[in-house]
Structure 1
Amino acid sequence: MPVAIITGASKGLGRALAAALAGRGWDLVVDARSAGPLKEAARELRAAGQGAGRGAARVVALPGDVADAGHRAALVAAAGELGGLDLLVNNASALGAEPLVRLADHPLDGLRTALEVNVVAPLGLIQQALPLLLMSSYLPSYEEFAAPAERTFHDSGDDNGEAYDSHPYTENARNAGLSVSPPYMGTGGAILNISSDAAVEAYPTWGGYGAAKAALDQQSAVLAAEEPGLRVWWVDPGDMRTDLYAAAVPDDDASGRPLPGTVVPALLRLLDGAAPSGRYTAASAAAATGEVSVR
């Protein structure tokens, strides 16, 4: 069975993606800072695999903080005990200020926390997980559980598609620097880093969080260039109705925002299509049709 680590999996997008993977036969290592909600999520994830007729998914739930190096090591060790690691999802996040405030008022300790959780911790986890990811036979093992999908990715057609280069290093990442070689698709594992439109747009009060996500984007792009044997995706999931957004902007009515589960089909599309490394958006319309917008 393929194995995934998903951080921040007790609720929101992390939990929704974990449930979808469990239903496809994946074994999971999941974490969150709160033990109670994580334990409840783990029960749901095991049932998701069983409900799909595959038997209960193996789920290791480890409460802890991704900013803690010992906790990160425990996550990777648990994946190794399940047989390896095929997908690492860096989903856990921190705003830096709750509610969000203008940069003039942003607490510096809060910014340090945002950078630690959104940038330093993902890299630390990637460093720990890299040996297992490089040994992964990700694509062959995954195709046993996923229906074949066309490797087609559709441009979003919005203004940002022209203003922002989705992955200026894609050619190097895919061809490993060989100008005459065909596109290189590694058979190792995949890394999915959850980004935000605040990484590329200047929204008032989102400066600290946006700066952290922008750093995560650049870190992901460099990683993709350095590790052509892996797939590295950094994805803006779009607006969602989550506890994180409620904490960021508590006075905003989020009832009309889509639930995190609506984004999951777009993320699965990356897996099914063996998408090349790059920055992707997963707009709600694209998620509903199974299409992924790349920008």
Structure 2
Amino acid sequence: MPVAVITGASKGLGRALAAALAERGWDLVLGARTVDALERSARYVGAHGTRVVAVAGDVTDGAHRTALLAAAQELGGVDLLVSNASVLGAEPLVRLDAQPLAGLRTALETNVVAALGLVQEALPQLRAAEAGTVIAVSSEAAAEAYETWGGYGASKAALDQLAAVLGVEEPGLRVWAVEPGDLDSMDTDLYAAAVPDDGGEPRPSPDSVVPGFLRLLDERPMSGRYAAPALLETV
């Protein structure tokens, strides 16, 4: 069975994608900081009958990254690495004139530096895989200028660039930066923390964008940046 490592997998998009992959027969290594939420997610995903290993920890911790990939190796080696763990850098989001610099450093460390560290450590397994793949979960704010989204958007723009260069440097892999769409305004805790007073309008569930991610895995287009809504429009 193919093996996926997914960070930020205790809820939201990470859990939704993990469940969809498990339904397709993937074995999974799930990472997140909150032990109880991660264990609940692992039980939910594991109900599909595949092997699911929960590894609690902070992705900025090198020992945690090593543990994630050691678990993947025990399952047969990672085929798909999904960098989904993210922090905002300010909650709620603020204009750049009020952006805490410490918060921006934290966002860069989590959203960019840790993602690269995980890829670096995973490369031997990914290169050995039949169809080694990296997905960096991006944001519309990485490509467009939206008030208050500057700090978070800058971190995701940096992640996009790392993904683009990795795709060039590792032609044997598929490396995709994937934008969930519409300022990531899915019904997730991350969006609620970013914009707590958005008017209470109903928001799409993370499950609604997962088919876009699955289409990439099915069709395996060239490495690059993709938007899940655009992929869904042509399904």
Partner residue in 2 for 1:20: 20
Kindly indicate whether the alpha-carbon contact (under 8 Å) linking 2:104 and 2:151 is maintained by their aligned counterparts in 1: yes
Partner residue in 2 for 1:231: 174
List per-residue Cα deviations over 1:236-295 (Å, max 9, x = no partner): 101312110100010113542211000000100000001210100011x743x663xxxx
> Which of 220, 223, 228 is matched with 1:277 structurally?
223
SS in 1 for 2:175: strand
**Alpha-carbon distance in structure 2 between the residues aligned to 1:220 and 1:74:** 23
List per-residue Cα deviations over 1:86-121 (Å, max 9, x = no partner): 000000000000001111111111000000011001
- TM-score, scaled relative to structure 1: 0.77
List per-residue Cα deviations over 1:181-222 (Å, max 9, x = no partner): xxxxxxxx0000000010011111111000000000111111
**Alpha-carbon distance in structure 1 between the residues aligned to 2:70 and 2:200:** 38
Partner residue in 1 for 2:66: 73
> Which of 187, 206, 209 is matched with 1:263 structurally?
209
**Alpha-carbon distance in structure 1 between the residues aligned to 2:220 and 2:37:** 32
**Alpha-carbon distance in structure 1 between the residues aligned to 2:80 and 2:39:** 21
**Alpha-carbon distance in structure 1 between the residues aligned to 2:169 and 2:200:** 39
**Alpha-carbon distance in structure 2 between the residues aligned to 1:254 and 1:222:** 39
Partner residue in 2 for 1:210: 153
Q: Which runs of 5+ in 1 are unaligned?
A: 50-55, 139-188
Q: Tell me the amino acid that sits aligned with residue 27 of structure 1.
A: D
**Alpha-carbon distance in structure 2 between the residues aligned to 1:241 and 1:197:** 16
Q: Name segments (4+ residues, structure 1) moved above 3 Å.
A: none
**Alpha-carbon distance in structure 2 between the residues aligned to 1:75 and 1:63:** 9
Work out which of the two has the higher radius of gyration on C-alpha atoms and give 1 or 2.
1
**Alpha-carbon distance in structure 2 between the residues aligned to 1:235 and 1:84:** 23
- Kindly, what percent of the aligned residue pairs are identical? 66
Q: Which has the higher helix share?
A: 2
SS in 1 for 2:77: coil
Between Structure 1 and Structure 2, how many residues are aligned? 232
SS in 1 for 2:191: helix
1:131 and 2:124 correspond: yes
How do 1:29-178 residues align onto structure 2 when only pairs under 5 Å count?
29-47=29-47, 49=48, 56-138=49-131
CA-based RMSD of the aligned residues comes to: 1.1
Q: Which runs of 5+ in 2 are unaligned?
A: none
Kindly indicate whether the alpha-carbon contact (under 8 Å) linking 1:266 and 1:290 is maintained by their aligned counterparts in 2: no
**Alpha-carbon distance in structure 2 between the residues aligned to 1:103 and 1:30:** 33
Kindly indicate whether the alpha-carbon contact (under 8 Å) linking 2:135 and 2:176 is maintained by their aligned counterparts in 1: yes
Kindly indicate whether the alpha-carbon contact (under 8 Å) linking 2:2 and 2:26 is maintained by their aligned counterparts in 1: yes
